[in-house]
Amino acid sequence: MALVAGLGNPGSQYAGTRHNIGFELIDRLSSELSIPVRRTADTRLYEMGQGQFKGEQVILMKPLTFMNRSGSALKHALNHFKLPLHRCMVCYDDIHLSPGTLRIRSKGSAGGHNGLADVLTAIQSEQIPRMRIGIGNDFAAGRQSDYVLSSFTSDQQKLIDEALTSAVDAIITFIREGIEQTMNKFN
């Protein structure tokens, strides 16, 4: 079993923004793997979909707790499904990478990302796989919030579309082969 969590903010006003690239990846995986993602009756913490891919149970989730409070939703899902951390991939935006760049790691610090910091605090560990998707950092001092909550330029969107296609392939590799093979193939 594998769980893939894409971090973002719920609500139509955030759709298509840089900070919601994790949600966009989950939407693409949902389509590619034919696993519908929707709100569950038993919790208001996340939208989720469950299905099979090549004999593996797959869970896709979008925390509904907003980006900087993603930890409680992910902790709930991990506990509910009794999943070890190494079978969960957390996917999110990164301003320290140029638009469209992917970086996959098996563990580590939050690197200044508040959403991941909340996840690491909630699960009390840095030993969780993560995929960072570069969104660039072309913003004036003090304007980071405006930048991450805005849409990509048309040139950036082309790079993001290519990155999301690669990210789907990387997640499929993670599901089938684990984190080490995924890092070897996609970093």
Report how far residue 48's alpha carbon sits from residue 62's, in angstroms, rounded to the nearest whole number.
6
Which among 20, 104, 5 is positioned nearest to 59, based on CA atoms? 5
What pLDDT sits at residue 85?
Answer: 98
What pLDDT sits at residue 122?
Answer: 98
Beta-carbon-side half-sphere exposure of residue 9 (alpha carbons within 13 Å):
16
What pLDDT sits at residue 33?
Answer: 97
What pLDDT sits at residue 131?
Answer: 98
19 is catalytic: yes
What pLDDT sits at residue 43?
Answer: 79
Q: What is the pTM of this model?
A: 0.96
What pLDDT sits at residue 40?
Answer: 79
For residues 139 and 147, the answer to whether their CB atoms sit within 8 Å is yes
What pLDDT sits at residue 23?
Answer: 98
Q: pLDDT tens, 53-75?
A: 999 999 999 999 999 999 999 99
What pLDDT sits at residue 151?
Answer: 97
Q: List the chain pLDDT tens, one digit each, 187 residues.
A: 999 999 999 999 999 999 999 999 999 999 999 999 999 777 789 999 999 999 999 999 999 999 999 999 999 999 999 999 999 999 999 999 999 999 999 999 999 999 999 999 999 999 999 999 999 999 999 999 999 999 999 999 999 999 999 999 999 999 999 999 999 999 9
What pLDDT sits at residue 143?
Answer: 95
Candidate list 19, 80, 86, 96, residue with the active-site label: 19
> What letters, b where the CB count within 10 A reaches 16 and e where it falls short, cover 58-72?
bbbbbbbbbbebbbb
